[in-house]
Amino acid sequence: MQRVKYGVIGCGVIGPTHMKPSLGSDRLELVAVADLIPERAERAAATYQAARVYHDGLDLIRDPAIELVVLAMPACHRRALALAAFAAGKHVLIEKPVAMNAQDVRDLIAARGRLKAACCSSRYRFITHHRIAADVVASGALGELRTVYMRSFFPAAPPPSSPKPEWRLKRALNGGGFLMNWGCYDLDYLLGLTGWKLQPKRVFAQTWPVAPHLLAHLPPGSDAETHYTALVRCEGGTMLSLERGEYMAIAQESAWQLVGTKGSLRLTMTAVTAAGPQAQKGAKNWKQIDLAAAIREDREPLTSLEKALVVQTITDAIYASAARGDAVDC
């Protein structure tokens, strides 16, 4: 397969993870990187052997050698750059969260045309145990699904010596907080286990900010939630139950479970399976590899914007329910 030539906009925390797969790859060739901080872009280019460096992401998008643009900057900038990439005839891979809200995702779908676009909320769906579990669910071994359940907490540790990224818990930059950062993984994982057959109808939810005595853990000005809980009623009566939190006075806990009329299945989303650590490492890169293959084979990627829209629609409904203090339609 002819290698797909791509560029990465954003050389901060997550950008290099999209550059690394090109090293020694027979499917991907990193052509250029871009970042508002010139030294960071130069360092990334040298490390990952990119031939060109840009300061402005729009200049990278205009580069005629680039076929695929990877967007690895804060969510508030992704819609505009993705639309510019589509207008320039480029395929696009978008970091998570895919957009600030569901309407942004609809705009991207409308602008995509015959180009390929994928998102990064799906890496846990490519771990070996997920594919095996999804086959079990599809076989009907669990019977009719009653509940699909996720509960995960990260307790507060001592305040960090270096703060988390500035955008992470700011609504104006990220569209929200912990729900945006991790909820997309959780929903993609659970909906993937069910073959994307659940059709959410109504949501009842609540969100909370970090407790005042733990504010030192966050960058100044952080205003988004660090804890959320949601109950989603799906067509046919299946209930999707979600709760996740960080910086909390609670023991660490992680549980994902599907309960049916004939049986149940319990998993841990982030567990390393019998295939070993390489299985998770490969899962992180699979979205790039799959998108490259989708471009060359002219097929839809497994991590499509349509799936991202389902996830973001539920996310928007959780925020709306929490703000209203009542259930909302999804």
**CB burial of residue 45 (10 Å; 0-12, 13-18, 19+):** buried
Mean pLDDT taken over the chain: 92
> Is 200:317 a contact under the CB 8 Å cutoff?
yes
pTM of the model: 0.93
The CATH code for residues 4-121 is 3.40.50.720
Report H helices in the chain.
15-19, 38-48, 57-62, 78-87, 102-112, 128-138, 171-174, 178, 184-193, 277-297, 305-324
pLDDT tens profile 37-56: 999 999 999 999 999 999 99
Nearest to 207 by CA among 183, 177, 236, 228: 228
160: confidence class by pLDDT, cuts 50, 70, 90: confident
> Is 61:84 a contact under the CB 8 Å cutoff?
yes
Is 80 exceeded by the pLDDT of residue 237? yes
> Is 267:273 a contact under the CB 8 Å cutoff?
no
Instruction: Look at residue 279 in the predicted model and tell me its pLDDT.
Output: 38
% of the chain beyond a pLDDT of 90? 81
% of the chain beyond a pLDDT of 70? 95
pLDDT tens profile 279-295: 344 455 677 888 999 99
98: confidence class by pLDDT, cuts 50, 70, 90: very high
| Domain positions in the chain | 4-121, 124-278+311-329
Instruction: Look at residue 147 in the predicted model and tell me its pLDDT.
Output: 98
Tokens for 182, please give them: 């991790």
Q: How far is CA 119 from CA 18, 107, 141, 291, 312, in A?
A: 12, 15, 31, 9, 12
Determine which of 144-153, 197-206, 262-271, 282-291 has the lowest per-residue pLDDT on average.
282-291
Instruction: Look at residue 277 in the predicted model and tell me its pLDDT.
Output: 36
pLDDT tens profile 53-97: 999 999 999 999 999 999 999 999 999 999 999 999 999 999 999
25: confidence class by pLDDT, cuts 50, 70, 90: confident
Is 60 exceeded by the pLDDT of residue 144? yes
AA letter at 43:
R
Fold (CATH) for 124-278+311-329? Dihydrodipicolinate Reductase; domain 2 (3.30.360)
Is 90 exceeded by the pLDDT of residue 180? yes
Is 70 exceeded by the pLDDT of residue 271? no
